[in-house]
Amino acid sequence: MVAERSNPESTSRPGGADEELHAREAELTALSRHLFLVAEEEKAELARELHDTFGSNLTAINMDLNWIAKRLPEDRPELRERLQRALRMLGETVRIKQAVIDRLRPSQLDTLGLAVALRTRCREMANQIGVTCEVAAPEDFEGIDSARSIALFRVAEEALAHVDREAAAPVRFDLSREEQGVRLRIHDEGPGLARAIDEPGEGIVRMRERIGAVGGTLRVVAEECGVILEAFVPGR
C-alpha cells in the first residue's frame, strides 16, 4: 500500500485560490457599482439636456402659436382648426418629452425626495392599469444621496413592471429610515412579483445588481398572499 504524500504546493493552493476568487468578486462588485453610477449619471445628463433644449424650444413654439391664434381672422375657420390641432399636438409632445425625461431621471427624485417620486410613479401606474398602489413613508426622504435614492427607485420601478395587471391586486411600498440605513419594503399581494422571483430573470438580477452596487442587500419574504421584497441600503 502506497501512502499518500502531501504536496506543499497543493495544500497552499486552496487558500490562494480563495483569496484570488474573493479579489475577483470584489473587483466585479466595484465594476458593477461603477457602471451603475456612470449609467445613471449619463441618464441624468441626458435628461438635463432634453429639458433645457427641448423645453425652451417647445415653450417658444407654444408662445408663437398662441400669438398667431389671437390674430387670426374670424372668417378663416379652416386656419383656426389647423392651428388648434397644432397646439394639441404640441401639448402632447410636451407631455411625451416630460415622460421621457422622467424615465431617464425623475425630476422629483432630486427636488422633492424619494417618497414623492414613488407616489407619483404609483399614481401613474394606478391610472394606467387600474391597480391600487400605496406608498407609506414618514418623510419625503429628500436627504438621501443620489446614488442610493436612484437605486431604491429603480428597484421600485422594476417591481412595478412585474405586477400582474390581470390580478389587479394591491401593491404597497413602505419606506423607512433605520439606524444603519434606509429600507424599502414592497408588498405585492398578487402573483406577478412572486412569479418573477420563482422564475429569476433579468428583472430580479437587475434589482440585486442595483442594490448591491450601493452596498445594499435585497431579500425576499414569502407570504400567504403574494410576496414581500425588501431592499436595504446603508447610510443615512
> pLDDT of 135-159, one tens digit each?
999 998 888 888 889 999 999 988 8
Q: How many residues does the chain have?
A: 236
Mean local confidence (pLDDT), 85-106? 88
- Computed on alpha carbons and rounded to an integer, the radius of gyration of the chain in Å comes to 25
> pLDDT of 161-212, one tens digit each?
888 777 778 889 999 999 899 999 999 888 888 787 777 666 788 888 889 8
pTM here? 0.73
Measure CA 126 to chain center.
17
Give strand ranges (E) for the chain.
133-136, 171-177, 181-188, 217-222, 227-234
- Report d(CA 49, CA 131) in Å as an integer: 33
Look at residue 7 and tell me whether its pLDDT is greater than 70. no
> pLDDT of 31-74, one tens digit each?
767 777 787 778 878 878 888 888 889 999 999 999 998 888 88
In this structure, are strands 171-177 and 133-136 parallel, antiparallel, or unpaired?
parallel
| Residue 76, C-beta contacts closer than 8 angstroms, at least 6 positions apart | none
Could you tell me the CA-to-CA distances from 133 to 88, 119, 139 in Å, in that order?
A: 30, 8, 18
- Report d(CA 124, CA 135) in Å as an integer: 13
**DSSP assignment of 174-229, as one string?**
EEEE-SSEEEEEEEE-SSHHHHHHHS--HHHHHHHHHHHHTT-EEEEEE-SSSEEE
Look at residue 117 and tell me whether its pLDDT is greater than 60. yes
The CB density around residue 50, as the number of other CB atoms within 10 Å, is 16
- Report d(CA 58, CA 76) in Å as an integer: 26
The CB density around residue 188, as the number of other CB atoms within 10 Å, is 29
| Residue 142, C-beta contacts closer than 8 angstroms, at least 6 positions apart | 111, 112, 113, 114, 116
Look at residue 12 and tell me whether its pLDDT is greater than 60. no
Is 117 or 1 the better-scoring residue by pLDDT?
A: 117
